[in-house]
Structure 1
């Protein structure tokens, strides 16, 4: 990132460097928030999948018990 700022400093007037650094900082922060939101959404989805699997397993266990009681 430092090399990018250096390259931009050569191409752009000095008074615009601060603006570019601020824009880069905002972009990095935005990308970090987007990544964190993606990870959070993936974790939430995984928890929901586990809950569904556990519920399905529980229902399966219940149906086995009722079948066993009907068929001696």
Structure 2
């Protein structure tokens, strides 16, 4: 709930809500968001280094397609 309150997302429809819940689940599970939207759809989006800087969620629902790329911050034992 803290993730949702801290970002104050604007939802256009129920699909936005579902996509945001999935995103929030990754974030609270220790994943770092490194690409979003058209950048996440680029052919080299997954080839980026895990040390890549975290990005914000601005524009995450500008279209009817959702694209997110995450890296796990730390390896789980």
TM superposition score normalised by structure 2: 0.30
Q: Higher strand proportion, which one?
A: 2
- Structure number with greater Rg is 1
Asked which structure has the greater RCO (Cα within 8 Å, sep 6+), the reply is 2
Q: Higher helix proportion, which one?
A: 1
